[in-house]
Structure 1
Amino acid sequence: MEAKLILENGSVFSGEAFGYLDTQVGEVVFNTGMTGYQEVLTDPSYCGQIIVMTYPLIGNYGINLDDFESTGIKAKGLIVREKCAFSSNFRSEFELEQFLKQNKIMGIEGIDTRALTRIIRSSGTMRGIITTDDLSEGQIQTLIEGYSNKGAVYSVCTKVVEHFAGSRTENNAHPKSAKKIALIDYGAKTNILRELIERNCDVTLYPAWTKAEEILSDQPDLVFLSNGPGNPEDLIAEIQELKKLIGVKPVVGICLGHQLIALASDGETSKLKFGHRGCNHPVKDLGKNRVYITSQNHGYCVTKMPKDFEVTHINVNDGSVEGMRHTLLPVFSVQFHPEASPGPRESDYLFDEFIAYAE
């Protein structure tokens, strides 16, 4: 069935619909990864977004039950050049289209994703509609203007406090790191939890809106701020709670957590023109004088460093801040995703550095 992508600047792309047929509106973004479409679709940071995969063939290795980054698809839609109908991989348990149908997510194939990506790079990230319907100008305007992603964090984070015991196997590579971690969930990827558990940490997962007093009453060794979707400046109440934690407990963060640390410390964040999304972004660790290939997924970045913070990592492509550390307090954060999988794993050393901040 014919489907269309309608951008807010008036551009229209035609293709073939697959997955669950339904009109959706979201922020249209592109991801440059050659693999990882399952992790991308289930990453809570993509909540409210329609994802364009720049790699032309998607679905060739199927979907399995082990590589989810959350309970299901969190994106609003998927756009690909060519959808592979039949996967070929020993781990595949079902096909991409079946996965989209089960999660009631629409996909479009046959679109010139190179041309679409060039438009986003030139004009910036914009809202768009994917549909099989013949919409009027009025309907298009209503859908575009009605789109908001402000409540994204609250829709994807845990709704109850959960506890996860650390792994204590004989072959555990980190047997001495049994620390009590308070992980505040703004849309945490499952692999953050896996990395902490593998390092024998006892992790308590808290909803985004949890009060600082509740977290402190549990006496954690470290407060860990997760990734998540949306504009960090929208989380006004969460920033105020974070201010009560910084300086009282060691605090570390990834992605949205990094941005929230900056805002809670009187820094500033701004929206990037088209964001950083993919698993091939070079970042320089200034302390180690070494460049790492990283996985990234963010549309905002820290543009004004807070007082008494120093830059620890920078993006090689555009020079944006990718990591920062407080010079006096135990506070450290990075913008990229050291827990990324599939993708580069060379920066997972940062989890050992995060845990080293624990009391």
Structure 2
Amino acid sequence: MSEPAKLALSDGTVFTGVRFGAPGEVYGEVVFNTSLTGYQEILTDPSYNGQIVTMTYPLIGNYGINPEDVESGKLSLRGFVVRELCREPSNFRSVMSLDAYLREHGVIGIEGIDTRALVRRIRTQGAMTGVLSTTDLDDKSLVAKARSSPTLVGKDLVKDVMPEESRPWSEGLHSILLDPSTPHVTKRTGAADSGPHVVAVDYGMKWNIPRHLSEMGCRVTVVPGTSTAEEILARNPDGVFLSNGPGDPEPLEYAIETIRGLLGKKPVFGICLGHQLLGLALGAQTYKLKFGHRGANQPVLNIQSGQVEITSQNHGFAVDADSLPPGTEVTHINLNDQTVEGIRNSELGAFSVQYHPEASAGPHDSHYLFRQFLRDMQAPVAAH
């Protein structure tokens, strides 16, 4: 027997559907993702902490869930919204249904609503706070809760998803190729590698990122996002990686201060939140996008090469190009809205991109960025 569920937005709109996953009530920023596949990677991406995610593709769950396609050890999103849930998945790798997976992790899902209408409202009004509930089905009550719920602006959501302790990383990409022209290595053992030592600062890092670094022969050490510059430099890395993560970058003063202490001392490469934090550390400003970029089909122009990359993205904030200081250049722009997608400061040996090259949306369009980081580590910047 189906159980009713409701999603109420802070603008007063209410959508009625059917529950799947866990029962309960949650609030969060309601956003949408335009990917056709990859829902398991989306569910396990820590960058969605604090958000209720809507999938624009109408049928979700058809290939089930498997233990390999995960990007973290838990689900950090608040809720999941789909038009139609596939309750009988069919795939040789599937071990459970999407419904069972959400129930196991205590995440509320709602299906049967008009996701097209929901996405159009978000695109028109902007991302807004919503309440997803199976326990309170009164429209007025839910709208009042949505309007009184806090937004994610100004909140530190990183500390909810970052690791508590440092650890070595040893897993490679397995069946995924970095580049079709390079030989495939099935697994790296990080502790035994004699390649460059990368300290990956984890603000809510997707696991496919250290897999790429390990696959290149790097020895990878993952450290919490609260690590100081002194603690990172004490590990004598050849380069420092700044990971993705959730929410607003501006409240993360500890991370910004750490990055400032690293600039000019070690090569730095940032992705997504790491890109925004690098921008702030260099003296730029960030701002909130109207509804963000979330999907696997975002076109990005590499200004230097003139090539267009098809990229995977998940972010609601952007670096303000006009606020970048002298010496820092914009290297990539989004062709949909001209927002900044990449920056570089050659003097300080630091660069970053807003999108996710490890997600292989192109599929190989953006893997050169990891090789660029490797080259930077092989010819490190002079200490400042």
TM-score, L = length of structure 1: 0.95
Does the 8 A contact of 1:164 with 1:203 survive in 2? yes
- Aligned letter for 1:119? R
> Match of 2:369?
350
> Which position in structure 2 is the counterpart of 1:90?
92
State the alpha-carbon separation in 2 of the partners of residues 42 and 307 from structure 1: 38
* Residues 1:27 and 2:32 aligned together: no
* Aligned match of 1:309: 328
- Deviations 1:294-320, CA, capped at 9 Å, x for gaps: 000000001132331111111011111
CA distance in 2 between counterparts of 1:299 and 1:82 reads 26
For residues 100 and 312 of structure 1, what CA distance do their matches in structure 2 show? 39
Q: State whether residues 198 and 239 of structure 2, in contact with CA within 8 Å, keep that contact through their aligned partners in structure 1.
A: yes
Deviation for aligned residue 1:145: 2.5
Q: Is residue 147 from structure 1 mapped to residue 129 from structure 2 by the alignment? A: no
The whole-number CA distance in structure 2 between the counterparts of 1:117 and 1:139 is 19
Aligned pairs (5 A) from 1:61-210: 61-132=63-134, 133-135=136-138, 137=140, 140-142=143-145, 144-149=147-152, 150-165=155-170, 172=185, 178-210=195-227
Partner of 2:343: 324
Aligned residue type for 1:161 = S
- Contact persistence 1:178–1:202 (CA under 8 A): yes
Change (3 A) 1:231 1:134: same
Work out which of the residue numbers 240, 255, 259 in structure 1 matches 2:257.
240
CA RMSD of aligned residues (A): 2.2
Decide whether aligned partners of structure 1 residues 41 and 345 sit closer, same or farther in structure 2, where only a CA change above 3 A counts. farther
Number of residues of Structure 1 aligned to a counterpart in Structure 2: 359
2:280 equivalent to 1:263: yes
Give the Cα separation in 2 of the matches to 1:325 and 1:87. Answer: 44
Write the distance in 2 (CA, Å) between the matches of 1:208 and 1:148: 22
Secondary structure of the corresponding residue to residue 213 of structure 1: helix
Change in CA separation of 1:171 and 1:280 when aligned onto 2, cut-off 3 Å? closer
Q: Which moved more, 1:118-127 or 1:321-330?
A: 321-330
| Runs of at least 5 residues in structure 1 that lack an aligned partner in the other structure | none
Check whether the contact 2:312–2:361 (CA below 8 A) recurs between aligned residues: no
Q: CA deviation at 1:29?
A: 0.2
Q: Distance in 1 between matches of 2:53 and 2:275?
A: 23
- Give SS of 2:359's match: coil
- Structure 2 match to 1:281: 298
What is the CA–CA distance in structure 2 between the aligned matches of 1:258 and 1:342, rounded to whole Å? Answer: 19
Distance apart, 1:174 and its partner CA: 12
For residues 315 and 333 of structure 1, the distance between their equivalents in structure 2, rounded to whole angstroms, comes to: 14
CA distance in 1, matches of 2:171, 2:88: 38
2: CA distance, partners of 1:51 / 1:4: 14
SS at match of 1:101: helix
- Indicate the SS of the match to 1:357: helix
Distance 1:118 1:166, change over 3 A: closer
Q: SS of the residue aligned with 1:24?
A: strand
Tell me the distance in 1 between the aligned counterparts of 2:300 and 2:194.
27
**Unpaired runs of 5+ in structure 2?**
175-182
Higher mean alpha-carbon deviation, 147-156 vs 346-355, is at 147-156
Q: Are 2:267 and 2:373, in contact at CA under 8 Å, matched by a contact in 1?
A: no
8 Å Cα contact 2:21-2:103 kept in structure 1:
yes
Q: Structure 2: which amino acid aligns with 1:347?
A: S
Which residue is equivalent to 2:5? Answer: 3
Change over 3 Å in CA distance of 1:212–1:270 after alignment to 2: same
Give CA deviations for 1:229-281 in whole Å, capped at 9, x if unaligned. Answer: 01000101211121111111111100000000110111011000000000000
Contact 1:36/1:342, CA 8 A, preserved across alignment: no
Q: 1:277 to 1:177 in 2, by over 3 A?
A: farther
Aligned to 2:179: none
Aligned counterparts of 1:257 and 1:342: Cα–Cα separation in 2: 19
- Paired with 1:21 and 1:173, the residues of 2 have a C-alpha distance of 41
Are the equivalent residues in 2 in contact too, given 1:256–1:335 (CA < 8 A)? Answer: yes
Residue 177 of structure 2 corresponds to none
Partners of 2:145 and 2:130 in 1: how far apart?
A: 12
- Structure 2 distance, partners of 1:103, 1:174, is 29
Alpha-carbon distance change, 173 to 23 in structure 1, aligned in 2, over 3 angstroms: closer
